[in-house]
Structure 1
Amino acid sequence: MFKLDFDERDLRSLRVFCNVAHAGGFAAAEKQLLMSKASISRHVRQVEVRLGVRLCERGPGGFKLTPEGAVALDLASNALRALERIRPEVDAVHGVLSGSLTIGIGEHTLTHPQCKLPEALRMLRQRAPAVRPEIIVTSFADLNQALLEQRVDIAIRGKYSGDAEFNYLPLYTETHRVYVSGRVNKKECRNLPLVYRAHPYVERALSSGLYTRGPDAGGLDAIGALVASGYYQGILPTHYGQLLQKRFALRLQPNSPSFQHAGCAVTQAARPLSHRAGLLLEILKDLHPFDSDV
């Protein structure tokens, strides 16, 4: 007979532990869980006693998972997500799609004129009203990590290189180019530092030797602000750059390189696709006829 090592009370404590770890500490988890710090501490301690190891360090030095805690977090998160999928997948057998569907997108995804995510969500609602879409906005690197950790079901982001860990459904073509302020003359703009963010195209431009590294930026708005100051140049998606051109008089750098890729709906290759995720992918494919030669 199959027997669980954890009872229902243990599962609740595991959920509390996972929330604390993802929040980065007890104080941050208080607001999310609507529980007192003492109650949260009791739940975490219960899991530690059950497993016989210390899961985290907490004190003046801050909150930090132990190596055992990191392993426990990974396994517990996957197990709890699997439990949450039981009812929706059983419902799907009877032709009823339900449950949450988490979609991760990069910042300013909706500014792309060919992105039809809102239309896809409207069709999803019509075809599967019991499915609850949830959307998170985060960086390229965080989207990949969220997919691998199964915190999102589908990510919409650029495909910059092939990766066996993910499956890609091309939706539209996106182009990135270098922008400068219209107040800078053509000769001066070539020597401006290039705003840095952790992105494949920025790395490629810097490795060419044609640009010097400028200040770090946390996202497209930060790049746009620095470029608009007139002291820097930066790489932006052209659909977003065109929006800033109207307000801040940005323009393309003379002889700017052009970087192009497909914007894709991305799923984890090793994870079986849920019925509700499969339905959204089907809808996205129908709404985005993609030219494979691009």
Structure 2
Amino acid sequence: MLNQRKLRQVSNLDLKLLKTFLAVVQAGSFTGAESILGLSRSAISIYISDLEKRLGMKLCSRGRAGFSLTLEGQTVYEAALRLMSAAEQFQEEVNNTYSVLKGELNIGIIDNLVSIPHRTISQALAKLKQTSSEVKVNIRMSNPADITLALLEGELDVGVMPSLTSIDGLKLHPLYSETSSLYCSEQHPLFNQPDKLENIQQCSAVLPVYAEQMNLPQLFDNLDVAATSNNRDGVAFLVLTHEYIGFLPDHYASRWVDKGEMRAILPEKFSLTTDFYIATRQAQRNRRVLDVFLQALGMTD
């Protein structure tokens, strides 16, 4: 039984542990929180145990019956949401004291979207800059898992990424779609061969680490996945070794396709359309800078 104790002061460590706890609750399990937090299940378990010891109460039950909050855990969860929201409200109220739009926009974007033909994000950022020169924009290029975690922890205000899984606590706004195909380089054996499924299945393939969450067609299960990468540059690097075939967005691969250095393999079968979204936190207070940015995108939070 845990020793009851009063929390006299909320430290940075407490905030870190509370953010981990929030992510676990919002993911619905320790396992579900692994990809969000970028931590192993054992590390997450240690963090939750440390939080329980610091608070002197059992927060959740985990075992064969599944994950569930105790009554105390539900209370702590709701209080932690209010705590994070209060910090955001403080920043909003301070920023609202200025007549000129001021503040920061922290935005996470999946790598290599700049080559997509319609530059929706760039145009919205331009409108934000034209509205006020007192707004500082901080862009973080990352992968979907890291962007999701940063959103849940309040490090990012908005994320631009594919919708891989439904995450409690995030609101998704449809943005646009992206078509991807399977590619090989000009020195790969498949480049000058007819597209035959049996030949493709014998080649080493590289896919994004989040491919399992992308609802790929069943045909992709037959690929010999010999490598993964957490970003598109990594996939392209391996394709350009001439030893791998790789799954890349068509707009991104066009720089090599146009020079005859890559080609799509059996695109009528190995092609996929991915929907991209603007992601924001459901619990966050409306912020003036974020509101202006979303309005520039033709969205409201």
What TM-score range do you get, normalising by the shorter chain? 0.5 to 0.7
Tell me the TM-score normalised to structure 1 length. 0.65
In structure 2, distance between residues paired with 1:228 and 1:248: 12
Residue in structure 2 matched with residue 198 of structure 1 by the alignment: 210
Q: 1:179 to 1:134 in 2, by over 3 A?
A: same
Matches within 5 A, 1:237-248: 237-246=249-258
Displacement of 1:134 in angstroms is 1.0
- 1:270 correspondence with 2:296: no
Q: 1:129 to 1:136 in 2, by over 3 A?
A: same
Query: RMSD of the TM alignment (CA)?
Result: 3.7
Q: Which shifted more, 218-227 or 187-196?
A: 187-196
1:144-155 mapped onto 2 (5 Å cutoff): 144-155=148-159
* Residues 1:99 and 2:113 aligned together: no
Say which is worse superposed, 138-147 or 180-189, in terms of deviation.
180-189
The letter for the 2-side match of 1:192 is C
Please list, as runs of the form range in 1=range in 2, the aligned pairs for 1:249-260 lying within 5 A after superposition: 249-254=261-266, 255-260=268-273
Q: Once the two structures are superposed, what CA deviation does each residue of 1:85-125 show, in whole Å capped at 9, x if it has no partner?
A: 52443443775432222101011121111123233222212
TM-score using structure 2 length: 0.64
Q: Which position in structure 2 is the counterpart of 1:231?
A: 243
Where does 1:147-226 land on structure 2 (aligned, <5 Å)?
147-160=151-164, 165-183=169-187, 184=189, 185-186=193-194, 187=196, 188-196=199-207, 197-200=209-212, 204-205=216-217, 208-226=220-238
Percent of pairs identical after alignment?
21
Give the whole-Å Cα distance in 1 for the aligned partners of 2:138 and 2:81: 18
Stretches of structure 1 lacking an aligned partner (at least 5 in a row): 23-63, 287-294
**CA displacement at 1:244 relative to structure 2:** 2.9
CA deviations on 1:229-284 (whole Å, 9 max, x unpaired) are: 22221111111111232457111112442211332211122333322111101102
Q: How does 1:72-111 map to 2 (within 5 A)?
A: 79=83, 82-83=86-87, 85-92=89-96, 96-111=100-115
Q: d(CA) in 1 for partners of 2:152 and 2:13?
A: 21
Do the aligned partners of 1:194 and 1:233 also contact (CA within 8 Å) in 2?
Answer: yes
Amino acid at match of 1:193: S
- Three-state SS of the structure 2 residue aligned to 1:209 is helix
Unaligned runs of 5+ in 2: 1-6, 20-44, 55-76
- Cα displacement string for residues 69-95 of structure 1 (whole angstroms, at most 9, x for unaligned residues): 5678x9999957844652443443775
3-state SS of the aligned residue for 1:261? strand
Is the contact made by 1:166 and 1:269 (CA closer than 8 Å) also made in structure 2? yes
How many residue pairs get aligned? The number is 237
